[in-house]
Amino acid sequence: MPELPEVETTLRGIEPYLRNVRIERVIVRQPQLRWPIDDDIQLLVGQTVRGLTRRAKYILVETDVGTAIWHLGMSGSLRLVTPTDEPAKHDHVDWVLSNGKVLRYHDPRRFGALLWVLPGEDSTHLSHLGPEPLTDAFDGDYLFARSRGKSQAIKTFIMDGKVVVGVGNIYANESLFLAGIRPTLAAGKVSKARYNELSVIIKDVLGAAIKQGGTTLRDFVGGDGKPGYFAQQLRVYGRGGEECKVCKSLLKEIRQGQRATVFCPQCQR
């Protein structure tokens, strides 16, 4: 699944080609995504893109008449192509742009979404979300305060979008390893000092992944069609049963919340 760094990479890839550009046509080949595409999406036709932002794993495309919200789901990608590039089987949506480019949405599993919000309205998909991890609103003090009295495992705690957005499974595994925190430890038992360190590490891990263009797992590529390279730096994720790169102990793999968790029994306490 594309996580925050992959979505941020996609945003940065497509933004120069969309900002201040007019959308001339919206072609919907398959409206049945995770949620059906509203017919109001055609209001985009003739509109100029005023801005592009990211909130959690959502990409927001702002115009004068409303905001289109993309979510890439499990296998979705946004790529820039030319009008002569024939759509493939799973190319579900095209935005034909005034600069001669086409923004094309590809999604084999159709778990992604294209939502529409009118000016002044709040999206129910965004209103409940916690702070962005790369902002000053997210730090050790915040995590410590939110975790008090919680028996929930620290890994599922930092992956909870109501606590903080965008710390997906890959980056939760990696951050906890670097912080030396066992993923099964109760969130309420982690000290403020350890949360201070963990919050900095989460920022560093996500920042490094963004610089590397994300982590390529199965279908992900960025907006330019190129894969991300952070997978080459993974220390624990996807390496269950292999040697720890620090202490040479065998990494252990368990399931938490139906997600794979890999950790080092020696390095993480």
Q: What is the pLDDT of residue 256?
A: 95
Which residues in the chain come in under a pLDDT of 50? 216-222, 227-229
pLDDT score of 222: 46
Catalytic residue among 2, 5, 133, 183, which? 2
50 is in an annotated binding site: no
90 is in an annotated binding site: yes
Instruction: Please state whether beta strands 252-256 and 259-263 pair in parallel, antiparallel, or not at all (unpaired).
Output: antiparallel
Catalytic residue (one of 3, 6, 62, 174): 3
Task: Give the sheet arrangement for strand 23-28, strand by strand.
Answer: 23-28, 91-97, 102-106, 77-81
The catalytic position among 54, 57, 79, 182 is 57
- 194-233 pLDDT, tens per residue? 999 999 999 999 998 888 865 543 343 445 555 444 555 7
* pLDDT confidence of residue 133: 97
The H or E element spanning position 117 is strand 113-117
pLDDT of residue 218: 39
Known catalytic membership, residue 183? no
Q: What is the predicted pLDDT for the residue at 211?
A: 83
| Beta bridge partner(s), residue 71 | 58, 113
Listed in sequence order, the DSSP H helices in 159-228 are 169-179, 192-211
Closest by CA position to 224, among listed 30, 6, 1, 2 = 6
Look over the chain and give the mean of its residue pLDDT values, rounded to a whole number.
92
Domain 140-263 = CATH 1.10.3720.10: no
Per domain, the residue ranges of the chain are: 4-117, 140-263
150 annotated as a binding-site residue: yes
Q: What is the pLDDT of residue 214?
A: 54
Q: Is position 245 annotated as part of the catalytic site? A: no
Respond yes or no: is residue 3 known to be catalytic.
yes
**What pLDDT sits at residue 175?**
97
Give 121: exposed, middle or buried? Use CB within 10 Å, 0-12, 13-18, 19+. Answer: exposed
Say how far apart CA 196 and CA 6 lie, in whole Å.
Answer: 25
Q: Domain 4-117 carries which CATH code?
A: 3.20.190.10
Q: Is 152 helix (H, G, I), strand (E, B) or coil?
A: coil
Burial 79-99 (b: 16+ CB within 10 A, else e): bbbeeeeeeeebbbbbbbbee
Q: What is the DSSP letter of 38?
A: P
Contact 155, 256 (CB under 8 A): yes
- Percent of the chain whose pLDDT exceeds 70: 92
**Model pLDDT, residue 212:** 80
Is-catalytic flag, 192?
A: no
